[in-house]
Structure 1
């Protein structure tokens, strides 16, 4: 699964207004489908992190809910949040909760209605000959991160009372070679990115961001406030179908990987089996065992808001939890989302 970084949110209300068009919550049926089309906008290239939605498409779970789901890829030149805010897409998903918080702080009218992972699958990797197993062991070390990941190092240091001048942060790309050649003592990335991690060897030392005290959500689902207020049944139908797809991945991961690789032949089935097993441990946990797929809490969102406020990341205003999230869709689908963990 690809290593999605944590992008800075350069979205502004001006960009939203400029991109706003006629709002269509559910698109009209096309010649290829008699069902209305719901568009899900990603913040990255479509691939393995959507294995649950892809399986749900394959088995007709969205069709059973009266929808034809279209997944729109994002990328460097395609701003996912503004597309959803403007009504160009109905549902969105960003890699990490801070991207959504920063967008909303700039007054884009969107809110999260569920999250894929309550524990963010982001980590620092080091080699066994120079291991970093605890935050305190970063002191005196060099950490290589993408430019957009520097704030995560700042958050980790803040949470652990480590002075910023005790750690050298070096900007690198997504390539982990700088760790192998000794340029840095640690690199960061997603634990689900097996292709990247495999080059570091089977004995690579992994220190999760979560275990450093930085508690972020991974891959939250969100929608425009207009959609949440006036078309909640669309989001409920989407969440029921997506949850069923992820449930099938949980019970039949090999089948799910076969479906994924048949759609994306360039992917390695071996890597994706390993990545799917890892991702499922984040998608289904002790909280989903109690609250069901996609569950989230107001308290956890507030913790993240407080952290980013302390880091000085909000340049316009500090949003509240009522601006960031809603439990309305989760409550409406409580009996339909699998309680697994």
Structure 2
């Protein structure tokens, strides 16, 4: 072999080695965690499989490889209609779960459950109050004298919205209606409480109704949506804190991905939905679009997605106290931990 061919071969091998080294460096730089230690975590969504943003963030993080980038393996579970997630996160069988902020505050204040919120999705609440356009109801002031539905309990936020119009529930006929919006179509009630990201689409698109939805937040009432929460005991362990850091870093990334490309987020979500019956992806997209809109605000644009302040929770707590949804005040310093988001968004 000639000296020239040996020289060319040597330069080629050096070039290949350099390329391999650069590729490895780029791979490490793109990964959220380069420690090499794979950690495991259990997440339980607070309902069945569907395109609620706190669920989508997990589906996307798993499907797009964001958890893998963090060297994190996440077991994804769903509570369905059982409510089991509320206790399993306290027993340690589940590491992180979801709850509406108002429910988290009520359970913590009324039972002492050591829940800690670490990320907020809805910058406004998830509930609204639907009326048929043919009803003649043009504002909550027109609820007086009407048949008004509620689901199990009358929310403090609803009381506050009525108060803003000089009303109380004594001015209307309150009816426990459960979870079937057909009762509004059949005019068993004239006002029906809805989950904003779900039932308005069912009423308008599936049941062909023209409706208006009123939200307490539009009348100056402090409301908040769903949080990711863990327990105080979980946060006492340094390995758990590292798990949570990786989890939130991946789901923040997935949250941003979903905002930038909701169609792709639905494609990822579809892989986690039951196949029988086939999912209504138009409805799933409606859910996601509503929840993305409600998750973005001047606050999140200034600080990053998932952001929250103690002042937001203080305002909601005051409403819950005023309408006796809480047995007593709550230590918000203990109930909220924004430090993980602060590190992620710095």
The 8 Å contact of residues 126 and 206 in structure 1, kept in 2 or not, is answered as: yes
Task: Give per-residue Cα distances to partners, 1:150-204, cap 9 Å, x unaligned.
Answer: 5443343244431331122111121111211222111011121133553453631
What is aligned with 1:322?
A: 333
Aligned-partner Cα distance in 2 for 1:102–1:150: 11
Task: Give per-residue Cα distances to partners, 1:55-104, cap 9 Å, x unaligned.
Answer: 1100110111121112221144343222112211111211x112111221
Matched, 1:230 2:231: no
Task: Give per-residue Cα distances to partners, 1:255-291, cap 9 Å, x unaligned.
Answer: 2212222331332112222322222111222221111
Q: 1:97 aligns with which of 97, 101, 112?
A: 101
Q: 1:112 aligns with which of 117, 133, 136?
A: 117
Aligned-partner Cα distance in 2 for 1:64–1:133: 51
Query: Shift in Å at residue 295 of structure 1?
Result: 0.4
Specify the SS of the correspondent of 2:121. strand
What is aligned with 2:302?
A: 290
Task: Give per-residue Cα distances to partners, 1:9-62, cap 9 Å, x unaligned.
Answer: xxxxxxxxxxxxxxxxxxxxxxxxx93321112322232211221011001101
TM-score (norm 1): 0.81
Q: 2:324 aligns with which of 312, 320, 331?
A: 312
Matched, 1:260 2:287: no
What is aligned with 2:313?
A: 301
- When structure 1 is superposed on structure 2, of 102-111 and 156-165 the one drifting more is 156-165
Aligned length: 300
Aligned-partner Cα distance in 2 for 1:39–1:103: 22
Aligned-partner Cα distance in 2 for 1:195–1:134: 22
| Structure 1 pair 309–39 and aligned structure 2 pair: CA distance change class (3 A) | same
The 8 Å contact of residues 127 and 200 in structure 1, kept in 2 or not, is answered as: no
Give the gaps of 5 or more residues in structure 2.
1-36
The 8 Å contact of residues 261 and 268 in structure 1, kept in 2 or not, is answered as: no
Aligned-partner Cα distance in 2 for 1:287–1:202: 35
What is aligned with 1:210?
A: 217
TM-score (norm 2): 0.80
The 8 Å contact of residues 119 and 228 in structure 2, kept in 1 or not, is answered as: yes
Task: Give per-residue Cα distances to partners, 1:231-275, cap 9 Å, x unaligned.
Answer: 333222111100111211112211221222233133211222232
The 8 Å contact of residues 102 and 314 in structure 1, kept in 2 or not, is answered as: yes
RMSD between aligned alpha carbons? 2.1
List, as ranges, runs of 4+ consecutive aligned residues in structure 1 with deviation greater than 4 Å.
Answer: 149-152
Specify the SS of the correspondent of 1:263. coil
Alignment of 1:17-28 (within 5 A): none
Alignment of 1:152-167 (within 5 A): 152-167=157-172
- When structure 1 is superposed on structure 2, of 174-183 and 201-210 the one drifting more is 201-210
What is aligned with 1:46?
A: 49
Going by fraction, where is helix more abundant, 1 or 2? 2
Alignment of 1:19-168 (within 5 A): 35-49=38-52, 50-94=55-99, 96-105=100-109, 106-168=111-173
